[in-house]
Amino acid sequence: MLERLTEPFFSTRLDEGGTGLGLSITDTIIKEHGGYLLFDSIPDGGTTATVRLPAAVGAGLPTATDGDCKMAADYQI
């Protein structure tokens, strides 16, 4: 199911009224900023979503090169 998480309208909770738009929109915004959204899941153990965004030029941080993004945040969901 991980490969479908960012599809528009995909939800495992359709019977509960879930629309499934959140991760699709989130993924689109992240990609528009040159980053990417990754998921890792352990059955019955939770899912980790990782957002990676390139460092801002001139922010005093190393800049991302060759598509490499500095990790911005990890959230356990």
Give me 54's structure tokens: 């390139």
Dihedral of CA 75/24/69/55: which sign? Answer: negative
Beta-bridged to residue 41, according to DSSP, are 47
Whole-number pLDDT of residue 1: 79
CATH topology (fold) of 2-76: Heat Shock Protein 90 (3.30.565)
**Cα gap 16→43, rounded to integer Å:** 22
Give 27-53 pLDDT, tens digit per residue. 999 999 999 999 999 988 888 989 998
Whole-number pLDDT of residue 28: 93
- pTM beyond 0.85: no
Domain ranges of the chain: 2-76
Q: What is the mean pLDDT of the chain?
A: 77
**Cα gap 77→69, rounded to integer Å:** 22
Selection from 11, 35, 40 nearest residue 23 by Cα: 11
Percent of the chain residues past pLDDT 70, beyond the cut: 73
Whole-number pLDDT of residue 75: 43
